[in-house]
Structure 1
Amino acid sequence: MGAEVKIWNPVEVAEQASHNYVSKIHPSQLTIDPSLELPHMTPLVLNMCKDMFKAWADLDDSCFAVEKISGGITNLLLKVSVKQENCIEEIITIRLYGPNTEYIIDRQRELQATKFITAAGFGAKWLGIFGNGMVQSFINAQTLSPSDMREPKLAAKIAKQLKRFHYVEIPSSKEPQLWNDVWKFFEKASVLEFDDSEIRKTYETISFKEIHDEIVELKGLCDLLKSPVIFAHNDLLSGNIMINYEEDKLYFIDYEYASYNYRGYDIGNHFAEYAGFDCDFDLYPNINEQYHFFRHYLQPERPHEVPEKDLEALYVEANTFSLASHVFWALWGVIQAKMSPIEFDYLGYFFLRYKEYKRQKEKYFLLARTYLTGCKNK
């Protein structure tokens, strides 16, 4: 038997989170415009901090230092350091939601998940919310790059951590959300209107009838694989994985898309992210790299004892669901092209992901169908 995996009790972790933080921190209705330059944003950040953290309400502004940690293509992360008279420095992280992201992200689902995931020890501690973001403790760690994820020791750590993550219990519907979310994205993406004539022309070259038929066919095949339903991160790219090398601690962060979902999707999506935002799919992990990951995922304590048949089964499952990852994020790109003010070629991202879906479809459909036929004949 493999190592025992602890199932986190949602009542216990919620009570723990409440005991530690709710008495000290209060939600704030204040908002911060993420498009502002940092000098103009800083006074708003300080007002929000003083409004949420009552112990800081009377501190002079000079006690605070605000800096940008990163600005992704959906969020902005800020680090706030606070020094008081006793020379004790406290640090928090503020995550500002990107404009219009509520159109594609279920913020209530995210908030529900974040409370329990962080209390279970998978990232920064959740501290509270304000008008257009959330506050968490600061993690002294660095984010990975796409090339880091394929390093064997780190890949093994990620696999072990992901196995633990998949056993988190969240008090919500345990229905897998993949196809619900894909169809929601499809409906939104297929009825957009663009003012820019060049973007409009490019958008009009997309055949949503073709995409509809592809989704139906892909879902039918994925359903036959009967992938286990677990609690999934659903966006495990390099920027959402952090490591503190000195303490040898790995963290998963950002749970905007986290939900109950198919195991194969979460792993297949992670593999697709080896390509990075540049979509260099030559970096997609080969079978040996995937088997290395599977061994540490399936039996973290005795990875070399995983039966070959289990490796083969998960290989088929993950790579078939990686096709669904391409469709999901391709449609996401179309929506973002309309909704996001961030300068990023979202429509170009659609074509890169959808092109990769079509390039790999025949290979992975054949792989899955051959596997399923073999299973029937045994």
Structure 2
Amino acid sequence: MRVPKLAAEIAKELRRFHAVEIPGSKEPQLWNEIFKFYESASGLQFDDAEKQRTYNTISFKEVYGEIIEIKELTSRLNSPVVFAHNDLLSGNLMVNDDEEKLYLIDFEYGSYSYRGFDIGNHFNEYAGYDCDYSLYPSKEEQDLFFRHYLQPDKPDEVSSKELEVLYIESNTFMLASHLFWALWALIQAKMSPIDFDYLGYFFLRYNEYRSKKEANCSLARSYLSGLHKS
């Protein structure tokens, strides 16, 4: 996904996807889903004693506080509400080499949500199935994506201000993405028949959230403060 030509095509296709009008309520579902996940995830009981011990180390009071903080911060960014894919990982991209055409597939998690969440969530997926978060896209890689998302026909004409807005938006909502999938993983740890360490995946996502939180939140708050002063 990080190959520049492919990244540009993904950005263009995502812009087209975000322009789709779906009948029904256009109320963004992100925080409703996260709070639902939290309610389910915070009251689990495991038959496996080792899993239960690991689960008991989670401070759900802390997690709830993090949800409230990120919800409040992202609400100040005025991210546009779009019909979002919400799960744009490499496995949900299909490339037809003969036609040189890219398709987004698997809309299981599709719903009205925030533009910044869909893009930030996609950037988190640069980590791949090995969850190597050192592969998270650089500022330059993100700018290339933003240019083709914002102006597919004239990417070089995107202003530095437009790039800044989308950079702040996406890199704040990427924190919400970690919270979303961390809580999702706890529910899967209890419910899923798939042999996968979902409990471990919770800690992977939550620890990555904590490692990025301070820098990304500080950037967003500094940006918002600048807007207020101007």
- Fold agreement, TM-score > 0.5: yes
Is 1:151 matched up with 2:6?
no
More strand, by proportion: 1
- The equivalences for 1:172-211 within 5 A come to 172-211=24-63
Deviation at residue 274 of structure 1 after TM alignment? 0.5
3-state SS of the aligned residue for 2:222?
A: helix
> For residues 376 and 191 of structure 1, what CA distance do their matches in structure 2 show?
41
Cα distance in structure 2, aligned partners of 1:323 and 1:172: 28
* Match of residue 281 from structure 1: 133
Residue correspondence of structure 1 range 1-378 to structure 2 within 5 A: 149-378=1-230
Deviation at 1:278, TM superposition (A): 2.0
Aligned to 2:221, what secondary structure does the other structure show? Answer: helix
Match of 1:14 in 2: none
Mapped partners of 1:335, 1:277: distance in 2: 19
Instruction: Count residues with an aligned counterpart.
Output: 230
CA distance in 2, matches of 1:243, 1:176: 29
2:80 counterpart letter in structure 1: P
Distance 2:196 2:128 in 1: 14
The alpha-carbon deviation at position 375 of structure 1 amounts to 1.0
| 1:189-231 residue CA offsets vs partner (Å, 9 max, x unmatched) | 0011100011010000011100001100110000000100000
Matches of 1:182 and 1:324, distance apart in 2: 9
Shift of 1:376: 1.3
Name the structure with the higher helix share. 2
CA deviation after TM superposition for structure 1 residue 377, in Å: 1.6
> Alignment partner of 2:8: what SS?
helix
Corresponding residue SS for 1:225? coil
Q: Residue in 2 aligned with 1:76?
A: none
> Given residue 131 of structure 2, which amino acid in structure 1 is its aligned partner?
C
**Counterparts of 2:145 and 2:44, CA distance in 1:** 39
User: Offset of 1:279 from its aligned partner?
Assistant: 1.4
Q: Percent identity?
A: 67
Alpha-carbon shift at residue 277 of structure 1 (Å): 2.7
**AA partner of residue 200 (structure 2):** G
SS at match of 1:242: strand
Which SS does the other structure have where 1:282 is aligned?
helix
Query: Deviation string for 1:46-78 (max 9, x for gaps)?
Result: xxxxxxxxxxxxxxxxxxxxxxxxxxxxxxxxx
Moved over 3 A (4+): none
Listed as ranges, the gaps of 5+ residues in structure 1 are: 1-148
Q: What is the distance in 1 between the residues matched to 2:93 and 2:36?
A: 27
5+ residue gaps, structure 2, are none
**1:127 — aligned with what?**
none
User: How far is 1:336 from its partner?
Assistant: 0.3
Distance 2:106 2:138 in 1: 27
Partner amino acid, structure 2, of 1:198: E
1:82 paired residue number: none
Give how far 1:246 is off.
1.1
Q: Which amino acid aligns with 1:209?
A: K
Amino acid at match of 2:210: K
Larger deviation: 150-159 or 270-279? 270-279
Amino acid paired to 1:367: L
Which has the higher mean CA deviation after the structures are superposed, 319-328 or 275-284? 275-284
2:223 maps to amino acid: Y
* Structure possessing the higher relative contact order (Cα contacts under 8 Å, 6 or more residues apart): 2
- The whole-number CA distance in structure 1 between the counterparts of 2:24 and 2:118 is 18
C-alpha deviation, 1:276, in angstroms: 1.6
Alpha-carbon shift at residue 331 of structure 1 (Å) = 0.3
Distance 2:207 2:50 in 1: 20
